[in-house]
Structures are given as structure tokens and as C-alpha cells.
Amino acid sequence: MNFVELEVPGVWLIEPKVFGDNRGWFFESYRHDEFAAHGLSDMFVQDNMSSSAHHVVRGLHYQLEPKAQDKLVRVTRGEVFDVAVDIRKGSPTFGKWAGRILSAENKLAMFVPAGCAHGFCVLSDTAEFHYRCTGYYAPSHERGIHWDDPAIGVEWPVEAATAILSDKDKRNPPLAQAEINYEWKAKE
């Protein structure tokens, strides 16, 4: 696997080594030793799947401490633009974002640490999205930030007029008004 840390510290793009022949392909989607070598959490306790239509935007979501989650995300069908936003108070990249296209074809994954809000926009007709989480879903700790907050400035590949959001995501506040309890912890 090839691990590349993105513009936001702790957000990693993970490219597997794909082995293919006339039968199809094979790759390792997770290896404890390689994740540990990069200091990444590996105690996944819950897996989630979602299916979404073209132009659906999900996010930007996170859970407050002490129910925060690291996420390892991958697309198993279709294509999405995946985004992580740093919401760790005191971080040198607070309010900054990192985004990449994840698809079934490119087989890339993204590791999104606790302290980052996460979201994605579907670029294909439909997309299936797989989340591995280090914490359980805790509705009382679930929070969100408005997907198109100009203070963050995510360069979404969809216009606001055509984006499809849940009612809950439409009501998410901007970053400046969001409830956040993460503190930046620099690596030693």
C-alpha cells in the first residue's frame, strides 16, 4: 500500500497494490502492520455502507468527543469527491480541507481522523460508499457543518442548485457556529 498524507495533517490517501490478470483483480484493503507503521488507528468497531444518487452530498459530519470516530472510507461502486475538513481547535490547518476523487475504478481509500468533519458528493449515476469506523454511531454526539460554508471554501464539483441534501444537512450551521470540542494534538 502507498500512504500519502494530504494537506490536512492526519488525513491520508491510501492506494492499494492491485494485482490483476485475465480472471480479474485482487488487493489488500487493510493491513494492521502498514496502518500501525503510519500511526493510524486500527480498532474498527463498526462498518457502514451507503448508496447515493448523482449529485447527492452527504456531510459534513462528525461526532463530538468522547464518541469521536476515525473513518476509513472507500467507494465500492461509482465515484465520489470525498472531503475532510480540519475542525481541531489550535490546528495549523483549522478550517482547511482536503479532497480527492475516490472510485471503484481507482480503488483509493481515505483515512479521516477524529477532529475532521467528513463529507462527499456523488459524481457517477450512483455510488456505494463503505465506511469503517473506530467508534460506534452515537446520535447524541452527532454534529454537522454546512457543506458549502464559504469560510471553508471546498471546491465541490456540484452547484448548490443541483446538490441533493438531506433536510438535516441543509440545516447544518457554518463552521463559525458549529459545536466543536476537538483540540489539536501535535505529533511528538
Annotated catalytic residue, options 62, 118, 131, 146: 131
Catalytic residue among 30, 32, 38, 61: 61
Q: With residue 183 as reference, give the H or E element that holds it.
A: none
Helix ranges (H only) for the chain are: 32-37, 167-170
Q: How far is 52 from 159, CA to CA, in rounded Å?
A: 17
- Phi and psi at 106, nearest 5°, equal -85, -15
131 belongs to the catalytic site: yes
The answer to whether 63 touches 181, Cβ cutoff 8 Å, is no
Q: Give catalytic residue positions.
A: 61, 131
